[in-house]
Amino acid sequence: MASLWGWRPNGAHPLLSVILCTLRCSGAMAFFFTHLSLLAPAVAGQLSPTNIFAPDSTPARSIFRLSIFDLEVEGAIFIVVFSLLAYAVIKFRRGKRDDSEPPQVYGSNQMELAWTVLPVLIVVVLFLATAEVIHRVQDARRPPGAIDVTVVAHQFWWEYRYQQFGFTTANELHVPISDSHGSTPTFLALLSADVDHSFWVPRLAGKTDLIPNHPNSTWIDPQETGLFLGQCSQYCGTQHAKMLQRVYVDSRADFDSWVRNQQKPAVSDPAVAAGAALFIAKACFACHTVRGTIARGVAGPDLTHLMTRHTIGSGAVQITPQNLRRWIRDPGTFKPGSLMPAQDLTDTELEQLGQYLQTLR
């Protein structure tokens, strides 16, 4: 009965043809994807600012290369198995007036062996390729010139501590440009102040969770200046969606001048003394730090150089004088669920406070 089986189970034929077909398909896929991968970073960047196929930093690029290899292998498997399925569905339909039963085949040990061994080989290859990238990304050594930043995730914003340089900022991470040799990578220590979060800037690196009492780390070495977007990718509560990330990659000179400015205490402008007093009187200081004043709160973002940032509320909205005032009055307008309470202020008070904050450059 087995001989009636379409693919003679005893011959090497079917197996060989499957292997050949796989090789041919994967050759074609490899050609397609290598060309795609050359094009990809340029085109992919246009698709989305957070495209994982537009890497700009070594960890993201290693992942990208591995993922293309993965896609090639899986594409080949898909083509082979799908072709078999389509062939079977088309070829072995029962005829209109055909009531007879087909020959009954109960199995074939050779076939079983073939489709066990082949996947095992594929798994071995994929595993080795994967293990190599895991090792390369995860066990990378920290070179002497590296920048260290401690990232502390909060519900629903990011705290960035530059202990090396002696200051803390929030929500917008600045790092210097590196090169393909990884001359000045930035190593990020990842902590959480409350619940689980995840650090994900797709074009720079894969994500790593920030978990209370479980310090993690990751690293990036961006090779282009500019703004890189990302966002928290572990559900962390009401405003998980607006816990956005902005990473500014600066030229070395720009980075150094940014650092020098951040190191300074807050500007003290007598023209906005009324607003500065309100900042204390309305208890803003309980949550926010403004270095050089008595405001040393740590529950909310450091505001010492607020106006050097481009957004409020961890990327929720652009920082304009009007948005700033609306945010202070009720953060819920932009970010319902934000832990910052709405403020009961008169219009004059709001204006004074806004004027004061606008001087914090």
Partner 1 sequence: MASESIALTVHRSPLQVVYEWMATVDHKKIGLMYIVYALLFLVIMGIEAILMRIQLAHSNSTFLSPQVFNRLFTMHGTTGVFFVAMPILFGFANYLVPLMIGARDMAFPRLNAFSFWMTAFGGLLLYASFFAGKGFSQGGIAPDVGWFAYAPLTAPAFSPGHSTDYWTLSLLIAGVGSIGGAVNFIATIISMRCRGMTLSRMPLMAWMSLVMSSLVLVTISPLTAAQLMLMVDRYMGGHFFDTTAGGSVVIWIHFFWIFGHPEVYVLIIPCFGFISEIVPVFSRKAMFGYPAMVAASVGIGFVSLGVWAHHMFTVGMPSYGNAFFVLTTMVVAVPTGIKIFNWLATMWGGKIVFATPMIFCIGFLFQFLIAGLTGIMLATAPFDWQLANSYFVVAHFHYVIVGGILFSIFAAFYYWYPKITGRMLSEMLGKWHFWIFLIGFHLTFDFMHVPGLLGMPRRIYTYEAGRGWETWNMISSIGVIFQAAGILIFVYNMIQSYFRGTIAGNDPWDAWTLEWSTTSPPPEYDFATLPVVRSRRPLWDLKHPDDPDWKYE
The footprint of partner 1 on residues 210-249 (CB under 8 A) is: 211-214, 216-217, 229-241, 244
The token duo for 98 is 């055909």
State which residue, 140 or 345, has the beta carbon closest to partner 1. Answer: 140
77 binds partner 1 (CB under 8 A): yes
Count of positions (residues) in the chain: 361
Q: How far is the CB of 127 from partner 1 (least distance, A)?
A: 5
Encode 290-345 in three state secondary structure.
CCCCCCECCCCCCCCCHHHCCEECCCCEECCHHHHHHHHHCHHHCCCCCCCCCCCC
Q: Which residues contact 13 (CB under 8 A, 6 or more apart)?
A: 7
Q: How deeply is 38 buried, as exposed, middle or buried, from its count of CB atoms within 10 A (0-12, 13-18, 19+)?
A: exposed
Alpha-carbon distance values, 134 to 37, 137, 139, 160, 208 (Å): 21, 5, 8, 26, 13
* Residue 200 binds partner 1, judged by CB under 8 A: yes
**Is residue 154 part of the contact set for partner 1 (CB under 8 A)?**
no
Where in 104-133 is the site for partner 1 (CB under 8 A)? Answer: 104-108, 111-112, 115-116, 119-120, 122-123, 126-127, 130-131, 133
38 binds partner 1 (CB under 8 A): no
32 binds partner 1 (CB under 8 A): no
Calculate the alpha carbon distances from 344 to 72, 185, 280, 283, 341 in Å: 59, 45, 14, 12, 9
**Segment interacting with partner 1, rule: CB under 8 A, options 98-106, 257-265, 294-302, 348-356:** 98-106
Distance of alpha carbon 247 from alpha carbon 201, whole angstroms: 8
Judged by CB under 8 A, the number of residues near partner 1 is 95
Q: Tell me if 302 sits within 8 A of 169, measured CB to CB.
A: yes
Beta carbon of residue 180, minimum distance to partner 1 (angstroms, whole number) = 19
Q: Provide the minimum distance between the beta carbon of 40 and partner 1 in the complex, in angstroms, as a whole number.
A: 11
- Residue of 25, 29, 147, 205 that binds partner 1 (CB under 8 A): 205
State which of residues 62, 178, 186, 262 lies at the interface with partner 1 (CB under 8 A).
62
The reply to whether 47 sits near partner 1 by the rule CB under 8 A is yes
Give the residue with the Cβ less far from partner 1, 205 or 276. 205
Q: Which of residues 155-194 bind partner 1 (CB under 8 A)?
A: 155, 190, 194
Residue of 150, 171, 151, 164 whose CA lies nearest to 303: 171
Assess 42 for contact with partner 1 (CB under 8 A): no
49 touches partner 1 (CB under 8 A): yes
Query: Within 10 A of 113 (CB to CB), how many other CB atoms are there?
Result: 11
Give how far Cα 212 sits from Cα of 153, 164, 171, 238, Å: 9, 23, 19, 18
CB 169 within 8 Å of CB 258 = no
Smallest distance, partner 1 to C-beta of residue 138, A: 4
Does the protein bind partner 1 through residue 195 (CB under 8 A)? Answer: yes
- Judge residue 72's burial from the number of C-beta atoms within 10 Å of its C-beta, 0-12 exposed, 13-18 middle, 19 or more buried: buried
- Shortest Å, Cβ 147 to partner 1: 21
Nearer to partner 1, 44 or 303 (CB): 44
Parallel/antiparallel/unpaired status of strands 147-154 and 186-192: parallel
CB of 107 to partner 1, least distance (A): 4
Rounded to the nearest whole angstrom, what is the least distance from the CB of residue 132 to partner 1 in the complex? 10
Nearest distance from residue 277's CB to partner 1, in Å? 33
| Interaction residues for partner 1, span 247-306 (CB under 8 A) | none
Spatial distance between the Cα atoms of 281 and 63, rounded to a whole number of angstroms:
51
Residue 60 touches partner 1, criterion: CB under 8 A: yes
Stretch that binds partner 1, among 19-27, 102-110, 172-180, 323-331 (CB under 8 A): 102-110
- Does the footprint of partner 1 cover residue 81 (CB under 8 A)? yes
Complex with partner 1: residue 111 or 345, whichever CB lies closer: 111
153, 218 Cβ separation under 8 angstroms: no
- Given a contact cutoff of 8 angstroms between Cβ atoms, the answer to whether 227 and 246 are in contact is yes
Distance of CA 172 to the CA centre of its chain: 15
Interaction between residue 137 and partner 1 (CB under 8 A):
yes
